Chains A and B, each alone.
Chain A
Amino acid sequence: AQSVTQLGSHVSVSEGALVLLRCNYSSSVPPYLFWYVQYPNQGLQLLLKYTSAATLVKGINGFEAEFKKSETSFHLTKPSAHMSDAAEYFCAVSAMDTGRRALTFGSGTRLQVQP
């Protein structure tokens, strides 16, 4: 079984400040990990993914995430927040041994960016 925990349902930062969104996962086998972003009234868009290559993964819009096996974490960061980053962010895990390859999602973190 696999699961994802996102710490903090709401995060507020000032424009230009560091963004840190936390994600911890549980998986009995090596996982694939994803971050998705959802803007209001839209579907989910892939930000970045970890698929057992480099542990530091760079995504779109200046976001990156680091896979830390010892901490079972995959936190999302961005050095400098922009107003356009305001959205909901979802961490997801997919275990490599499952035939269905469906994603298990965290409950989401809503990012607010203050001017």
Chain B
Amino acid sequence: NAGVTQTPKFQVLKTGQSMTLQCAQDMNHNSMYWYRQDPGMGLRLIYYSASEGTTDKGEVPNGYNVSRLNKREFSLRLESAAPSQTSVYFCASSQGRSSYEQYFGPGTRLTVT
């Protein structure tokens, strides 16, 4: 039981390049989330998916798109990376319904030059 996995662990992009961050969970959770973590700002919600087939914007969605591929997988895409998107990205999942507890992946450290 791996929990929440994320790939890649590290990535360096040039401004304007695109990439997709992958996330998968094996806990049969309904809800999945993407956060970014910046120094002194805690974690901020980018997008979430309450259940398979649904996605919705969070606090800081600009410059990102997501896909809930199936119940297990939730990807985050940067179409045209900008230096302001340099951050650590965390994927999380939760059972949803009556459970608010979220389980986090190990993170992807992204640098945009």
Contact = CB atoms under 8 A, between A and B. Distances in A.
Interface residues of B, number: 26
Interface string B36-47: 000011111100
B42 A102 contact: no
B22 to A, nearest CB: 15
A34 B104 CA distance: 13
B45 to A, nearest CB: 5
Given A102-B33, A107-B40, A51 B100 contact: yes
Interface residues of A, number: 26
Contact of A43 (B31, B48, B58, B90): B90
Interface stretch (A12-20, A61-69, A73-81, A93-101): A93-101
Interface of B: 4, 31, 33, 35, 40-45, 48, 50, 56, 58, 90, 92, 94, 96, 100-107
